[in-house]
Amino acid sequence: MAGPGHCSAGKPLLVKIVMAGESCVGKTSIVRRYTEPSPAGPPPAASYIATVGIDFKVKTITFNDTTVKLQIWDTAGQEQFHTISTSYFRGAHGFVLVYDITNSDSFQGITSWMKDIHEKADDEVDIVLLGNKCDKETERVIPKHSGEKLAWEYGVPFFETSATDNINIEDAFSVLVKEIMNKNSYVLCDLDVVDLNESKKKRTCCQF
Ligand SMILES: Nc1nc2c(ncn2[C@@H]2O[C@H](COP(=O)(O)OP(=O)(O)OP(=O)(O)O)[C@@H](O)[C@H]2O)c(=O)[nH]1
Q: Which residue among 31, 35, 48 is best mutated to probe the pocket of ligand 1, counting the most ligand atoms within 8 A of its Cβ?
A: 48
pLDDT class of 141 with cuts at 50, 70, 90: very high
Which residues sit with their C-beta closer than 6 Å to ligand 1? 23-29, 44-46, 48, 50-51, 76-78, 132-133, 135-136, 162-164
What's the whole-model pTM score?
0.85
Mean pLDDT of the chain: 83
User: Per-residue pLDDT tens for 4-38?
Assistant: 445 555 667 899 999 999 999 999 999 999 998 66
**Nearest CA owner, ligand 1 atom 29:** 46
CA of 141 to the centre of ligand 1 (A): 17
Higher pLDDT, 69 or 200: 69
The pair phi, psi for residue 144, each rounded to 5°, is -60, -40
ipTM for the predicted complex: 0.99
Q: Provide the pLDDT for residue 77.
A: 74
* Listed residue (100, 68, 105) closest to 182, CA to CA: 68
What is the CA(163)–ligand 1 centre distance, in A?
8
Span from the CA of 147 to the centroid of ligand 1 (angstroms): 18
- What DSSP designation does 115 have? H
